[in-house]
Amino acid sequence: MSACVNTYFLLNNGESTMLIEFYTDGACKGNPGNGGWASVMVLNNECNMVATGKKRDTTNNAMELTAIVKSIAIGLRYVYEWRMKNAIIVINSDSAYCVNAINNKWVYNWMENGWKTKAGEEVKNRELWEKFVVCMGKRSEE
């Protein structure tokens, strides 16, 4: 079962709204090991696009997060290229790591704490989290 990441972009000018929905996943053979990610974009209840990628010497969490970041970037590209006035981008993921970090706003706490966890440790996958933050419109200040 997939959990909604609840990272939506809502652009609303009083007109009908286009729903752009993504279903994402990432996996790794070994951890670390060779990994891959996939994203399926659904528009009007139809599969519109599938995006995939792979990486050597990575982790499962990195692939899960890569799928989310790539999906947001693809969704935003469609919004701007199609000049949509009203759009919602919804990301669905089964990754507790990603869903919790996003929905509980841990990622923003990490950013404010210099990319350190509550325990003072370096945040894993920082470069991907920084890309996520940029996609969401907030930038890290180092």
pLDDT surpasses 70 at 10? no
pLDDT band at 108 (very low <50, low <70, confident <90, very high): very high
The larger pLDDT score, comparing residue 40 to residue 4, is at 40
C-alpha 63 chain-centroid distance = 10
- The one-letter amino acid at 91: I
Read off the pTM. 0.86
Where residue 57 falls (left for φ over 0; alpha for ψ -120 to 50; beta otherwise) is: left
Which of 141, 91, 78 is CA-nearest to residue 113?
A: 141
Section 114-133 average pLDDT? 96
At 64 the pLDDT is: 97
Section 110-125 average pLDDT? 96
Section 87-113 average pLDDT? 92
pLDDT surpasses 60 at 5? no
pLDDT surpasses 60 at 43? yes
Beta strand segments in the chain, E = 3-4, 10-11, 18-30, 33-43, 46-58, 87-93
